[in-house]
Structure 1
């Protein structure tokens, strides 16, 4: 049983790492649904959702740190934009974990699903890429998108890049939008995971080997696969035309939207 557990979650990490290497996002779209489906069989449903989100954020932290280093070396990051986004993600990481600790996130998941599907559709339809963000990007819309991306990450476990990258891709080349978002996702996921550790530190009925709401056995095994697979995925991404990366992003976002919508409707009994 232990060997099967290790193999299964290392494979999950390998798949997540490949997706992150290819598109810069997507590990949450594999890890989160898997944990949401499996964990209720081993622990109370209310607790399992929190552990699934927290452990997903912890695993994603590994993938985005690794990917961020690659993007920084490739100079795919806009520093000024990065600082603006990071300041928002610091706040949403703490607030989101606080909300999940005390309140159910079901209605938010339904809203998130609808918005992600909309974003995915818009990503496919947008034909032009702009390079001058200061004159083209509306600061108010940018703030709303960034706040929503941060809260969706910390409340629902869906990575910030799934929302931020399609939006930024309207103003930057895809790889630059991806690199900037990935670096900021480090802030969102690391602080989010730490917040879940803090709020869940004294939670009742936590399974053995949990660090707050983060379940360490899954975190460690998935992380091994992620570290192995990301460089492979990144090398493959350099051989793809940006439009194919963009379409892959749209597909990943739409899958996340459908999953969040179905999960939210099912859990609320609507």
Structure 2
């Protein structure tokens, strides 16, 4: 498993986007202006192969996990039993790559910028599409992503230190075990965002409105309560950019199911490449709690 080290972090507010381009010349600012369907089309055409951070603003973005049919029921149970780190958005039909609930005319084989292919738990490749490796018994799972609530936090005026520092958010493997399901088990993984002490309550309030994007924090304060001895020793991402008066606040993280899947070692597993998400048609506000 490789972390997000080195991936560019860009502000998710459109007017703060850095005008970079991917290898095929499409400007990030131009890509950010596309609606979800048009964005998926340029991704399908492999005209955009970079991270989806800052794109599809206002839309739910999703992690992807695809497992064989014989493992799908247990993985579904794992998602249902661990909704904080593994919020389930949609389950696809057996053998079908077509998304039915959260997007129209979408195909999970082609509509994410990059993928990871595992065989028996071992990384095999990181292709731009899954067309050549797709299996007839594949079952796809679209899972919630924290980009949903980060947009809301910025809109509410809450600072995000990793974006200020242009680094990935710090991510840690905790000593809290997820509720197991069949062969799927493992620790909860969390992302951490330093929040000024007087704004922690607001951060909890804002993020709790987005259960499909990990929702409210799983822990506030002492990292030792999660088995994290040193905040600077991240497992994925980048060491935190803490400022005076900041409190560490921890949210469930989408790396959790990837660790569970890798540990279970299915015949094959297809996932998204870190920060290269599926951008859905569903508004991030559509399912937000009042």
TM over 0.5: no
The structure with the greater share of residues assigned to helix is: 1
The structure with the greater share of residues assigned to strand is: 2
Q: TM-score of the superposition, structure 1-length normalised?
A: 0.29
